[in-house]
Amino acid sequence: DGGITQSPKYLFRKEGQNVTLSCEQNLNHDAMYWYRQDPGQGLRLIYYSQIVNDFQKGDIAEGYSVSREKKESFPLTVTSAQKNPTAFYLCASSSWTGLGDGYTFGSGTRLTVV
Amino acid sequence: AQSVTQLGSHVSVSEGALVLLRCNYSSSVPPYLFWYVQYPNQGLQLLLKYTSAATLVKGINGFEAEFKKSETSFHLTKPSAHMSDAAEYFCAVSVTAGTALIFGKGTTLSVSS
């Protein structure tokens, strides 16, 4: 079955460490997105990519980086510059326009700073 | 710029009662509107979408929403709540192809027996 896989489900980061969250889709979707979810804040856009080797910053891109070397994969790196990284991270994908069918979401990665 | 506001961060209903979750949008052009549901520690699942066809949209699990341009609203309703409806619900808007969805802050629905 087609879908989006995020891994790991839980991730612990030490202060000053970079960590990478994985997102893979087999839906043949062109566009992929990363959102951060905090209680009471809803979903805030970190980065998105519509085609391979191209991506755009969202509202809260500082302290994060992404790459899109393959259509199926859109990993997110949380760098040491991100001062408050503890959150639930959601990856999504869609057709290029993203309008007609909405997004398909992964099951999320919960990142905790220890 | 477009935005979406969900009125009420928490809604409580009794099992069998009407569910009404409110969403208002701001957009200078006709929007595309979505409702998603999220169960604890899971991703979001699409409930229904408005894409300028019918103004009354039916979704999964008995939910429906009505697009009212004059009120800039897209409220989500269900005639009779079930315990399994307890979750967080998000309204989202997009107006331009190739840009990301804008989400509201969410409404947590609690259902009591």
Question: Given pLDDT bands bounded at 50, 70 and 90, which one contains residue A1?
Answer: low
Instruction: Give me the residue from A42, A44, A99 closest to B32, CB to CB.
Output: A99
Tokens 């997009």, located at residue: B94
Tokens 């999220």, located at residue: B38
Segments of chain B scoring below 50 in pLDDT: none
Residue A9, judged by CB atoms within 10 A of its CB (0-12, 13-18, 19+), counts as exposed
Instruction: Give me the residue from A42, A100, A106 closest to B105, CB to CB.
Output: A42
**In whole angstroms, what is the distance from residue B2 CA to residue B34 CA?**
14
pLDDT of residue A99: 67
Which residues does chain B have within 8 Å of residue A90's beta carbon, measured at their own beta carbons?
43-44
**Whose CA is closest to B49, among B31, B70, B29?**
B31
* Each residue's pLDDT tens digit, A39-83: 888 899 999 999 999 999 999 999 999 999 999 999 999 998 888
pLDDT of residue B46: 93
* Each residue's pLDDT tens digit, B11-41: 999 999 999 999 999 987 878 899 999 998 8
pLDDT of residue B41: 84
Three-state DSSP class for residue B68: strand
pLDDT of residue A102: 82
Instruction: List the 24-83 stretch of A: residues with Cβ below 8 A of B.
Output: 31, 33, 35, 40-45, 48, 50, 58
Mutate to test the interface with B, among A24, A43, A88 (most CBs of B within 10 A): A43
Counting one residue from chain A and one from chain B, the pairs whose CB atoms sit within 8 A come to: 69
